[in-house]
Structure 1
Amino acid sequence: MQILRNTYLSLGSNQGNKLDTLQKAINLIAEKIGNIVKISAIYKTASWGFKSDDFFNCCIQVTTGLNPENLLYKLQQIELLLGRNRTSKNGYQARTIDIDILLFENEIIFSKNLMVPHKEMLNRNFVM
């Protein structure tokens, strides 16, 4: 029997067909990560930290059997599948999809690749 744990993810897109990209991301998360419990409304937000097109954002609650590190890896693979191109440039950039882990159960995680709760979570109105 697999132990399922709750995680909350934020999704954002500001390039291409944003609604379609968010839907594809949700479908892939359901397929590769776990059961989608809840999906928020979609919010239109201005780019933050750089000038670009507005984002469409939403948050989802997912139950998963993955540990946080494997969850992060699989989410990054989904981003790649959906055309996310990570560059070595510092700062925020426009992107087809961005998926962040906001919360993972009640765990606090500080590692080289992952910080949970997400450090900018309280600064994002669509998350609140």
Structure 2
Amino acid sequence: MRNKFILAPVKTGYADSSGRVTESFRDFYIERSKDIGAVTLEPLYMDPGLREIPTQVGIDSDDKIEGLSDLVSDIHANGARVIAHLNHPGRVANPKIPGNYFVSSSAEACPSIGKVPKAMDEADMKKVVTL
């Protein structure tokens, strides 16, 4: 790594509504990768029912590979490394996004959202591990 400066994960909201990389998303990370050692991508959802924002980048399906692969290549070309931030929002999943579901380690409401999630059972935990 060329230096120890690492961009922390930033929720840009620049993905399209399907969770694919857009030009704005690429431009944001390519510009910031020019002089630092590594870039941590925004929290990446692994299941479309587990998004924090409607325009969050996902890694839940093969149709997202090309955009993410091109982005990683461009960041590497700038001399920086890429860190993927895998995300399970638990009780902070956005209730306004159709199809989102709420599971967390406990049935305790998130203060900012107010919705009480389902406490995960063993089957839920296994599902998360296999994402």
The structure with the largest alpha-carbon Rg is 2
> With structure 2 as the length reference, what TM-score do the two structures score?
0.28
Structure with the larger strand share:
1
